[in-house]
Amino acid sequence: MRILLATDGSDTAGAAVQFVAGFPFPSGTEMKIVSVIPRVLRDHEIETLTPEQRTVFEESKSGNHSEVEELLESEAALLGQAGWSVTTEVRVGHPAAEIVGAAEAYDATLIVVGSHGLTGFKRFLLGGVSNQVFQSSKRSVLIVRKPESECEGSRPELPARDGHLWRILVGYDGSGPSEKAISFCTSLDLDDKVSFRVLTVLPMVRLFRQDIRQELNWIWQQQKETEKEALEAAADRLREITGGVTTALTEAGDVSQAILAAGEDFKADLIVLGHKGKGAIEKFLMGSVTPRIAQHSCRSVLAIR
């Protein structure tokens, strides 16, 4: 497995490093830490600078560069101490685009980014690099959350590096991407330090209380039985390699909310979901559960593509 970890020296990026250091990735996993220096001036703008301005600009650029290199060294050392093989890279440009580009060049299995658990208006105002990376990359993305005060009350503690029992909630709906999510989990270095809950949420049409008719429809009842069996089969794949696996099947009008609530209930360190990019019409028709959870969760989220 090849992991690309993006850092900018912030608290959230630090949390991502700490998370990755202790996470039970398979042995032999390689990591690259990348940091992006935002481009302040474009080439044609630099040409318009006076010689004095250019000297100040170059000095500041080189200062930035060495600061970032120092940061990368210290974070690489931290990961190295945890036993991972690490390389580093500094890039200049638009952060999200460079992170996605670096992941392509590195052929990363997974991109890891840190993010504040911003909610509501703050997220609308600030957006975020993690969200841009999630939206624009075709690779799996792990968003490590260091929640803001909005998530207070359900704020998860970041896992300690040693001896932590990882609690992982896996959303499963029988689709190809969710099968991949199960496969990802089975590829982890599992022993008794991980506890899984595999969750299937059956979507109900709550509008005009059609859920009541839905429950009485034998086609739906048959589908429910099939989903139950598929859920147990997925859980059995995990049980073959670790003991701590439970399952849950629930019905909800809003699948995303149900998964978020299950994450809180399970006190999950990580929510793992399959994610298939969809076109605009498909998004309108079928909705997009994973991006909503990635945006709204106060807990870390891994979207497997």
Partner 1 sequence: MDNGIIKWIADEEVLQDFVAGLPVLIILLIIVISVALLSKGADWMIDGVVDLAQRTGLPKIVIGATVVSLGTTLPEAFVSVMAAFLGNPGLALGNGVGSIIADTGLIFGLTCLLVAVPVNRFILNRTGWVQVGSAALLVGIAVIALMTAGAGEEPILSRWVGLFFLILLVAYLYVTYRWATQSGDLGHDEELSNEEPMNLPKAWSMIIGGLTLIVVGARVLVPSASEIAVRAGVPEDVIAATLVAFGTSLPELMTAIAAIRKGHPEITVGNIVGADVLNVLFVIGAAAVAAPLAIPDNFYFFHFPAMLIILISFRVFISRADTAFRRWQGAWLLAVYGVYVTLQYTLNVGGAL
Cα–Cα distances (Å) from 63 to 67, 97, 238, in that order, read 6, 23, 49
Residue 241: CB minimum distance to partner 1, A: 28
Shortest distance (Å) from residue 286 CB to partner 1: 6
What is the rounded CA–CA span in Å between residue 86 and residue 303?
23
Find the binder of partner 1 among 217, 229, 233, 243 (CB under 8 A): 217
Q: Is 125 or 207 the residue whose CB approaches partner 1 more closely?
A: 207
Residue with Cβ nearer partner 1 (54 or 213): 213
SS3 144: strand
Q: Does 215 bind partner 1 (CB under 8 A)?
A: yes
Q: Which stretch binds partner 1 (CB under 8 A): 119-127, 180-188, 214-222, 235-243?
A: 214-222
Sheet holding 245-252, edge to edge: 85-92, 30-37, 2-6, 110-116, 140-146, 300-304, 270-274, 166-171, 194-203, 245-252
Where does this chain touch partner 1 (CB under 8 A) — which range of 81-89, 98-106, 123-131, 205-213? 205-213
* Nearer to partner 1 (CB atom), residue 57 or residue 220: 220
How many other CB atoms sit within 10 Å of the CB of residue 237?
15
- Give the range of 27-35, 110-118, 149-157, 279-287 binding partner 1 by CB under 8 A: 279-287
Burial of 288 (0-12, 13-18, 19+ CB in 10 A): middle
- Coil, strand or helix at 280: helix
Q: How far is the CB of 87 from partner 1 (least distance, A)?
A: 44
- Amino acid letter, residue 136: S
- Residue of 136, 205, 226, 246 that binds partner 1 (CB under 8 A): 205
Q: Where are the alpha helices (DSSP H) in the chain?
A: 11-22, 43-47, 51-81, 95-106, 120-126, 129-136, 176-186, 210-216, 218-239, 255-266, 280-286, 289-296
125 contributes a contact to partner 1 by CB under 8 A: no
Q: Using the rule CB under 8 A, is 208 a contact of partner 1?
A: yes
With CB under 8 A as the contact rule, the residue among 40, 56, 105, 286 that binds partner 1 is 286
- Each residue 231-250 as x (binds partner 1 by CB under 8 A) or -, in order, gives ------------------xx
184 to 203: interface string for partner 1, x by CB under 8 A: -------------------x
Q: Tally the C-alpha atoms within 13 A of residue 233's C-alpha that lie toward its C-beta.
A: 10
Q: How many residues sit in the footprint of partner 1 (CB under 8 A)?
A: 25
Task: Choose among 63, 13, 2: nearest CA to 35.
Answer: 13
Instruction: Report the residue from 40, 77, 126, 212 that binds partner 1 according to the rule CB under 8 A.
Output: 212
What letters, b where the CB count within 10 A reaches 16 and e where it falls short, cover 98-111? bbbbbbeebebbbb
Whole-number CA gyration radius for the chain: 21
Instruction: Find the binder of partner 1 among 137, 214, 256, 295 (CB under 8 A).
Output: 214
For partner 1, which residue of 10, 81, 85, 210 counts as binding (CB under 8 A)?
Answer: 210
Nearest to partner 1 of 224, 237 (CB atom): 224
Rounded to whole angstroms, how far apart are CA atoms 259 and 274? 13
Binding of residue 229 to partner 1 (CB under 8 A): no
101 DSSP β-pair partners = none
* Contact footprint for partner 1 (CB under 8 A): 203-205, 207-210, 212-221, 223-224, 249-251, 285-287
